[in-house]
Amino acid sequence: MKNLKILIVTPGLNKPMGPFVKNYIDKLPFEKVVLFGGFVPYFYLNTSLKRQKIIRYLFTVLSLMNQKRLEILIKKRFKKILLKEKIDCVVADYLNTGAAVKSICEELNIPIVANVLGYEINKKDVVDGNKKNYESLANYKSYVIPVAKNMIPKLKNFGFEDEQIIYSPIGAKEDFFKINPTYDAYQFLAIGRFTATKAPQISIKAFAKVLQKFPQAKLIFAGDGELFEECKTLIEELQIGDRVELVGWINQEDQLQLFRKSSVFIQHSVTAANGDAEGTPVVIIEASAAGLPVVSTKHSGIIDTVIDGKTGFLVDEHDLDSMAEKMIFLLENQNVMREFGDYGKEFIHQNFSLNKHLDTVTQTILKAVAP
């Protein structure tokens, strides 16, 4: 197993992106090469921004600023890397990344394992633009790892067979299971990008309703994104600025501290107007692992990881009033809060630990390279 060499490919333009890639780099038991820089990535891990700019400039000049020629040059570079590194298996971050490199891998008879994370199988324009590529990938030596069960029928529609589809969200690190929340803190916590699929405005409005009954309650909201300023304005309009703290982007140590100091985790995920939707939000798994009851929505992979009425509450998308009611109920019933937290910690540990996910990915890679 140690002699196997995998290529991890991520579309992050300037650096590798996301928790999947970081954990795969750190923990998968194979020799690893990492590339980033687009859907057919061609920059090695730790390539400086200066060098990226130089290479991009050279490729643009060599292609005579023709997009098709540029794509051919990038694919040639990708193929050269596969040959030079003697890669046994390509592990792709996002289904459309796997589909983009399929033709090159097929030339060299290299199997592909692709994560299916969310937008690439939900967002209508992305799905429409990649349909043929997905179907082509399904007919190749490939395995796909969707993070939510509701993705499985969509993958089957592209032609992936049952044996090619391995359901596995990313899972929580052991650090999260060691946390004990502060259930009597009256503090709600939300962490995530301020985007349409996470509908942060609804969480803020629901919290405003909670304040009518519990004026001592507090909401900490971590993250950034295109709706950040809109949410700041909303908080001012609702006149709840003294009870809501927007802390911006945080690192994992900050996240662990916030979990310790909070009582309940909230997230109001919805399907956006363009069809975009969550996969399984990693932070919800981490919150449950930390013993926080979760109030969220009946959305995508959330329904697989939060047991309604046992580890938290799930409400319909856009149901602001029900969300506020469940938040109030938990503050009124701290014994239920603790029961949900304890049950959630055990449920996640049994089903959604990071070690379990990494073992699943390891076994899938071994299956992909088997003769």
Q: Are residues 317 and 204 in the same domain?
A: yes
**Token pair in block for residue 152:** 């499985």
- Integer Cα distance of 58 and 219 in angstroms: 49
pLDDT number for residue 13: 83
Average pLDDT, the chain: 96
Query: Can you give the residue range of the structural domain that contains 33?
Result: 5-170+353-369
Q: Are residues 249 and 361 in the same domain?
A: no
- DSSP letter at 62 equals H
Indicate which CATH number applies to the domain containing 86: 3.40.50.2000
Q: Report how many domains make up the chain.
A: 2
Q: Are residues 67 and 86 in the same domain?
A: yes
Q: Are residues 214 and 246 in the same domain?
A: yes
Alpha-carbon separation of residue 310 from 194, 269, 295, 301, 336 (angstroms): 28, 19, 11, 17, 9
Q: Are residues 34 and 107 in the same domain?
A: yes
Q: Are residues 108 and 223 in the same domain?
A: no
Question: What 3-state DSSP class applies to 84?
Answer: helix
- Integer Cα distance of 322 and 320 in angstroms: 6
pLDDT number for residue 245: 98
- In the predicted model, residues of the chain with pLDDT beneath 70 are 1-2, 17
Q: Write out the E strands in the chain.
A: 5-10, 31-36, 43-44, 89-92, 112-116, 142-146, 187-191, 218-222, 244-248, 264-266, 294-297, 312-315
Q: Write out the E strands in 192-256.
A: 218-222, 244-248
pLDDT number for residue 303: 97
Residue 82 phi, psi dihedral angles, 5° rounding: -55, -45
Residue 362, amino acid: T
Q: Are residues 199 and 293 in the same domain?
A: yes
Q: Are residues 186 and 325 in the same domain?
A: yes
Q: Are residues 125 and 253 in the same domain?
A: no
Q: Are residues 149 and 223 in the same domain?
A: no
- Integer Cα distance of 21 and 9 in angstroms: 8
Question: What 3-state DSSP class applies to 73?
Answer: helix
Strand 31-36 to strand 43-44: parallel, antiparallel, or no bridges (unpaired)? antiparallel
pLDDT number for residue 2: 52
Q: Are residues 99 and 230 in the same domain?
A: no
pLDDT number for residue 116: 97
Q: Write out the E strands in 49-154.
A: 89-92, 112-116, 142-146
**Token pair in block for residue 263:** 């009582």
**Token pair in block for residue 309:** 């009425």
Residue 75 phi, psi dihedral angles, 5° rounding: -65, -35
Q: Are residues 347 and 359 in the same domain?
A: no
Would you say 295 and 305 are in contact if contact means Cβ atoms under 8 Å apart? no
